Structure 1
Amino acid sequence: MKIIVKARVGISNVRDLRADLLTAAYEYIEGKTGTTLILQGCKLSPNRLSEERRLFAMLAPEAAEHVSILVQDENNKIDVASGLLKDGSSQEINNISIRPKRAPGVGRHNVNNILLLNWLDGLGPQTIKSISEASGTSYPTTAAAISILADQDLLNVKKDRSISLKYFPIEQWRQWIASGFEHRKSARFIDRSGQPRPPSSLIKRLQKLGRDDIAISGIEGARFYYPDLDLSGSLRLDLVINGNHGSDLGFVKKIDPALELSNNKFHKADLVIHFLDRPKTHFKQNGELLIADPLECLADLYNMKLDQQADQMLRFLSERKKVVHA
């Protein structure tokens, strides 16, 4: 049986633990898949964990036989005294990299964006499980986000329970992007030499690195989706990296040694790197370069106070997908 190993950081309430256990039960029922939950920095007591494990076994006895809960200490070592791990597996588990905990609201934001991007790409109906996997969210979080859209009558639901967006009102796009992308983590870099390289030069240097996890966003990315973008030149270069705010940004020195990280959001940045923390990137190939999804590009335009250009791009994308309803 396939075993999925999931790492969770800083769980402090039973609600989050129960959500993970419920997801594990769904995954077992749908695909006969087992789950090992690794808890790092867990705030729940051993007695509380044991009680939750007992209750889970009562509610879903068959699935519970294939779900393990393991606690990882501050040195990234697993306590194997419980006997939940097979011989020889502890070394593999101990080498797992723990991802930082997401900010509240990021999961729902990812689900919404995946649905909208699927709609823009014409992918058709998708199962809740596939949407959950693409957005990197738990089954309950995915289902809750979908329920909110269903209440607004924005979804097509097929007999097999697969779903897709019917349409997306343009008046909601801007609000969605503005509110959703406030959760996005970014790193800002400033050229300390006094002679910053133009974005086109940085892009050429990035291209030589051959990275498949970094895409161009911002003004340059927006032009890929909306060639009539009414702007001359670029204010800065925006990039999207598939990862979280703990990702290694050492590559920046390779594209320009003069770029230095700045924590002052009021300083004009020459390079801004945004972190895309979901499995499905929706990056587009453009020659030897990758382009971030259009929602990332729109968010950058609004962030740079280019509201008029962003609104024009929104209308363009909406008209391209316009559907006449009965």
Structure 2
Amino acid sequence: MRRVPGILSLPGYVPAPPGKTYDLRSEDDRVVLKYKTGRGIGARELHAAMADLAVALSDDRQGLHHFACLVWHGKGMSWPRAEWEWKRLVVALKDPIRLRMALLWVPDEGPIQIQPKNPGLEHLARLIHASPLRSRPPSEPRPFAISSAFFEVFKVLLVWHLKASGPLSLGLLCKLTGRSHPTVSAALSELQRRGELRRNSNRSVELTSFPRRTWGEILALSTQLRTPLRFVDPSGRPPNPMFLLSRVRRLPPQGVALGGTLAAEAWHPRFNLAGLPRLDLSVHLPGGDFDPETIARIDPTLRRARGGPEDAVLVVHPLRRAEALFTESAGGGLPVADLVETLLDLHEMHLESQAWEIVNAVMRRKAQ
């Protein structure tokens, strides 16, 4: 059966309600679908579509959706590459979400491939095989893929919003991010299209409220966008983040700020987590690469981690915008990473409830 690129139409499925990050849902709400098609769509678009599905599951407070499926009919990517990209990103998602996500790869000819293998999705694959695909309306815009430039612009806007610092001029936003006027303008247009940004009469801009939709997509793509460097102690000794912290404080490197749970304590005094699970550092790298000697000076026994985030005793987060936006600590010690970087650190450690507690506390203070 020849398949025409377009919008998927399936019996038993209805279009998503307005504002949702998926395209179709089953009539019983058990399955939601995101459909991607067209020549030239690649890894970035696949990652963005996965982020949309992760947001859909995260927003499903009642637990109605058993599966979120990406139906991928991309001309420019083979099945092995699509499967590899899927596996590369899905491991970064927390278990309750990633265990409910699936990829259905639709070739022009031949069987539909499913990742992960799941007998419950075979019926859906048969429906897709038997259903024609309607052509995409010419007016439908090309799907937006979050880039590193958009990521930096968004983070600065969110820092300003959480600090209640008021609107930002376009010139200042370009200066803080180190991005060009056209690049920043494109990011602002996308946020405005999503209803998350307001343009003022004096050409300044600000977020309208906490941007939950884009924040959810950012969280799903966080590992790819931030490219954290994880380090382990291969000596066999018990992990000792406090020892590393004492070394960093004694020999403070240039352009380094505390992140993670230590920064969370600085931003929200009520933050309470027993012990230090790992040491998170934000490193300002506006125009260069991370110097491995920085780690050697802290502890020469540390080595880059091969496993997942839970193995790390030290995590370094490169910060590649023009201005670091660090906050000096009250005691004159190491500065603290901005609140947005701190929240991203907490989500990476699966401390989601603590991160949202901080956001809610900050938003309450803004409303006073």
TM-score w.r.t. structure 1 length? 0.61
CA pair 221-206 structure 1, distance change in 2 beyond 3 A: same
Residue of 318, 321, 344 corresponding to 1:299: 344
- Residue number in structure 2 paired with 1:274: 317
- Residue number in structure 1 paired with 2:222: 181
Shift of 1:147: 1.2
1:202 aligns with 2:244: yes
Write out per-residue CA displacement over residues 235-286 of structure 1, whole angstroms, 9 at most, x where no aligned residue.
Answer: 1111110117822131212222221122333661110101111012111111
Which consecutive unaligned segments of at least 5 residues does structure 1 have? 1-102
Shift of 1:193: 2.1
Amino acid at match of 1:208: R
Amino acid at match of 2:293: G
Amino acid at match of 2:361: F
Write out per-residue CA displacement over residues 97-141 of structure 1, whole angstroms, 9 at most, x where no aligned residue.
Answer: xxxxxx970100111111111222233222212201211222112
Amino acid at match of 2:219: A
- Residue number in structure 1 paired with 2:291: 248
Q: Write out aligned runs for 1:1-326 (5 A).
A: 105-169=147-211, 171-172=212-213, 174-179=215-220, 181-182=222-223, 183-196=225-238, 198-243=240-285, 246-265=289-308, 268-286=311-329, 287=331, 288-322=333-367
Matched residue SS, 2:328: strand
Distance in 2 between the 1:280 and 1:135 partners? 7
Matched residue SS, 2:335: strand
RMSD, matched Cα:
2.4
Shift of 1:197: 5.6
Shift of 1:298: 1.2
Kept in 2, the 8 Å contact 1:109–1:180? The answer is no
Shift of 1:181: 2.5
Write out per-residue CA displacement over residues 128-174 of structure 1, whole angstroms, 9 at most, x where no aligned residue.
Answer: 122012112221121011112223444343333122223325x4475
- Residue number in structure 1 paired with 2:136: none
Q: How many residues align?
A: 220
Kept in 2, the 8 Å contact 1:173–1:314? The answer is no
TM-score w.r.t. structure 2 length? 0.55
Amino acid at match of 2:337: A
Kept in 1, the 8 Å contact 2:156–2:177? The answer is yes
